[in-house]
Amino acid sequence: MLMLSPRRGAGRFLALTIAALAALPPSLPASPAMEKLFYILKQKGSITSDEYDLLIATMKAEEKQPAQSTPAAAPAIAKRLEQTEAKVESLESTLLNTKGQVEELSRVSDNTSPSTLTKTDLDALLSDKWYERVKMRGYIQNRFIGIMGDDDTPGYNQANDSLASDSSGIGIRRARLVFSGDITDHVFMYLQADYNAAVGGSSSLQARDIYADVSLDPAREFRVRLGLSKVPYGFSNMQSSQNRYALERPDALNSAVEGERDMGAYLIWAPYEKRNMFKDLVKMGLRGSGDYGVLSLGVFNGQGINNADRNGELHYIAHAAWPFEVGSQIVEVGASYYHGRYVPTAAAIPVVGTPTFDPTGIRDTRFAVNAILYPQPFGLEAEWTWGEGPQLSDNMTTINSRNLNGGFVQAVYRHVFPNQAELIPFVRWQTFDGARKFAANAPRNRVDELALGFEYIPYPELELTLMYATGTRTNTVDNPAVAGPRYRDVNYHWLGLQAQINF
C-alpha cells in the first residue's frame, strides 16, 4: 500500500498522476492536460526547465508502453507504478533539496552578512546554481512632512535629514535597491543603491553600500569586511532605516557618522549561535541591527559617506555587542569607541569671516553604550554617547575640539493581531549638546525633543508610520541677519507620515 506523508504529498501526487496516466488506455486524452499543468508550474517558477523536461519525458515514456487492462496485467501495472513513482520521487528529492537549501538560506540570512550554512551545504548549493544565491530586495519610503516653528522663519534640521524649511511637502525619503549573496563559499557581496538620500538638499542616486565579506574559517565566525559600509558605532546607526520605528535617527548618535557609512576595513567575529541570533532578531520582526559581529575592530576614513580622506589619518574603531535571553525576553547590550582626526569644512560667516582650524584635522573621539530590550511585546531602547569633536568656538573665529554628550530613550509596544498585522506605538525622548561636524563650520547643535507615534503593518509589504515631534534645536542651516547670532535655537512642531513599501 502507498502511504502519503504531508511532507511528500505533492511529489506522491505527481507520481500517482503520471502512473495513472500511464495505466490508462491511449484513447483517454489526459496527456495534454498534464503537459499544460507542468508548463504552468514551470512558468510560475515552481519547477525548472530541466525538471519540466524530465516530467514530460517520463510521462511520454510511460504513454508509449503497451496498454494493460486485463486482470493478468495487474502485476505489470503495479511494477510500472512503482517504477514511475521511483522516478518522480527522485525528482521530488532534487526539488526539495534545492528548495530546502534556499529556504534555509532565507531563514538564517539578514541580507547584510554571509549565511551560516556549512561549507558542505554551501558547496552543494553553489555547484551549478550560484545565481540562486544572489538576492534582490529593497524598499521605498514615501513621506509627507510638515514643520511648524516659533516665528515666520523657523529653522529646523536633523543630522540625517537636512531639512531647513517650514513648508510641508511630499516626496521620496529613500528608495533602496539591494543585491546580496554568497558569490563563493568564502566571499559574500553586498551592493546597495539609494535614490534621494538628501545629498546637498536635492534628489540624487548614490552608492550607499559596496562591500565584500571574506570568511576566514569554515564556520564563518571570523570574517573581514572591505569597502563602503556602515561604521560599527552604536546601535541606532547600524539599525536599518527599513526597521527603525521613529522616522529619523537620534542626533547624538547620528552626528558621529552622518550617513552611517564610510570607506573602511573591519575584522568581525561572532560565535555561530550569536550570528543566528542577530539574524533572527531581524527575521522575527524585532528590529535588530543586523549581524555586525559580537566584536569588530577596524579602521575607516572618517570623512563620511562617499567623501575622500583629507588628512591621511584613519579613524580607529572597536565595537562589541552581546544579545542574550532572559526568560522569554531577548536583551542586547553593547559598547563602541572610535578615535581619529576630522577635517571640517569652513565657510564665511557675515562680519566674522571664515573660521580657521588645524589643517591636519581636529581630535574626534567618542564612546557609546546601549541596552535594548526587544519588544515581546513591550520593548525599551536606551543609548548614550560622550566624547570630543570639532565645534565652532563661541566667537565663531575658530573650529577646535570640544566636549559633547547626548542620547535617547525609546519605549515601544508591539501588538500582533491574529491575521499577523501589527500595531506598534512608540515614544522617544532625545537630547544632544555637541556639534554637527559634517555641517559647514561644525556649529554647536543643542537638541531636546519628545516624539510619539505609531506604526501599522497590515501586511509585510506595507508599513504605515505617523510621528509627531516637538522640542527645541539649533538651526545650523539658515543665515540670519548680520546683527544676529549665526546659529540660534528654535522651537518647533514636526509631523511626519510615511508609507514604506517593502519588496
The DSSP result for 235-248, as a single string, is: STTTS-TTT-SSSS
Give pLDDT, residue 150.
Answer: 55
Give pLDDT, residue 168.
Answer: 55
- Look at residue 31 and tell me if it is in a domain: yes
Q: Are residues 340 and 422 in the same domain?
A: yes
Over the stretch 216-254, which tens digit does the pLDDT of each residue have?
Answer: 998 899 999 999 999 999 999 999 999 999 999 999 999
* Mean pLDDT over the full length of the chain: 82
**Least-confidence region, from 65-69, 263-267, 402-406:** 65-69
- Look at residue 150 and tell me if it is in a domain: yes
Give pLDDT, residue 487.
Answer: 83
Q: Are residues 207 and 276 in the same domain?
A: yes
More confident residue, 463 or 116: 463
Mean pLDDT of 25-35: 54
- The per-residue DSSP string of 461-483 comes to TEEEEEEEEEEEEEE-S----TT
- Look at residue 113 and tell me if it is in a domain: no
Q: Are residues 170 and 213 in the same domain?
A: yes
Is a pLDDT exceeding 60 seen at residue 397?
yes
Q: Are residues 192 and 245 in the same domain?
A: yes
Is a pLDDT exceeding 70 seen at residue 141?
yes
Over the stretch 82-113, which tens digit does the pLDDT of each residue have?
Answer: 766 666 566 555 544 544 444 444 444 556 77
More confident residue, 10 or 299: 299
Task: Say what angle helices 31-43 and 49-63 make with each other, to 10 degrees.
Answer: 170
- Look at residue 1 and tell me if it is in a domain: no
Give pLDDT, residue 83.
Answer: 67
Cell of 411: 519605549
More confident residue, 27 or 42: 42
- Look at residue 305 and tell me if it is in a domain: yes
Q: Are residues 146 and 39 in the same domain?
A: no
Which of 108, 137, 165 is where one domain is finished? 108
Give pLDDT, residue 172.
Answer: 87
Residues 6+ apart with CB under 8 A from 24: 30, 67
- Look at residue 143 and tell me if it is in a domain: yes
Q: Are residues 205 and 315 in the same domain?
A: yes
Give pLDDT, residue 362.
Answer: 98
Q: Are residues 169 and 64 in the same domain?
A: no
Which of 69, 88, 108 is where one domain is finished? 108
Q: Are residues 66 and 198 in the same domain?
A: no
- Look at residue 52 and tell me if it is in a domain: yes
Mean pLDDT of 27-55: 64
Q: Are residues 138 and 204 in the same domain?
A: yes
Which of 73, 108, 143 is where one domain is finished? 108
Its domain, for residue 102, covers: 6-108
Q: Are residues 299 and 435 in the same domain?
A: yes
Tell me 38's DSSP state. H
Q: Are residues 87 and 150 in the same domain?
A: no
Tell me 199's DSSP state. B
Quick check: 404 and 435 in contact, CB under 8 A? Answer: yes
Q: How many domains does the structure of the chain reveal?
A: 2
Q: Are residues 102 and 124 in the same domain?
A: no
**Which residues on adjacent β-strands are paired with residue 149?**
492
